Amino acid sequence: MITLQGKGVFGGVAIGKISFYKRTGGQIQRRKIDNPAAEIARFEEAKAKAIEQLDELYNKAVQEVGEGNAMIFQVHQMMLDDLDYVEAITNMITTQEINAEFAVGTTGDNFSQMFASMDDEYMRERAADVKDISERVVSILSGSQEGGLVTDTPVILASDDLAPSETVQLDKDMVLSFVTQGGSTNSHTAILARTMNIPAIIGLGEGLTEEYEGKMGIVDGATGKLFIEPDEETLKEYREKQAEYQEKQELLQKLKGEENISLDGQKVKLYANIGNASDIGAVLQNDAAGIGLFRSEFLYLENDDFPTEEEQFKVYKYVAETMAGKQVIIRTLDIGADKQIDYFNLPKEENPAMGYRAIRICLTQKDIFKTQLRALFRASAFGNIAIMFPMIIALEEVLEIKEIVEEVKKELDDEGIPYNKETQLGIMIETPAAAVISDDLAKEVDFFSVGTNDLTQYTTAVDRQNANLEKFYHPHHKALLRLIKMAADNAHKNGIWIGICGELGADMELTEAFLAMGIDELSVSPACILPLRKKIRETGIADRREEILADVLG
Indicate which residues carry an active-site annotation: 188, 501
β-strand pairing of 200-202 with 291-295? unpaired
Scored b (16 or more CB within 10 A) or e, 148-177 reads bbeeeebbbbbbebbbbbbbbebebebbbb
**Contact criterion met (CB below 8 Å) for 439 and 493:** yes
Residue 234, C-beta contacts closer than 8 angstroms, at least 6 positions apart? 1, 218, 227
**Contact criterion met (CB below 8 Å) for 103 and 49:** no
Ramachandran angles phi, psi of 241, nearest 5°: -65, -40
End-to-end CA distance of the chain: 47
**Contact criterion met (CB below 8 Å) for 320 and 382:** yes
Determine the Cα–Cα distance for residues 348 and 352; give it in Å rounded to an integer.
Answer: 8
Q: DSSP label at 382?
A: G
**CA angle in degrees (0–180, nearest 5) for 329-332-335:** 130
Nearest to 269 by CA among 249, 291, 239, 299: 291
Q: Which own/partner contact pairs does 472-481 have at CB distance under 8 Å and 24+ positions apart?
A: 473/184, 473/185, 473/186, 475/503, 475/504, 475/507, 476/507, 476/509, 476/510, 476/552, 478/552, 478/553, 478/554, 480/452, 480/455, 480/456, 481/510, 481/513, 481/552, 481/553
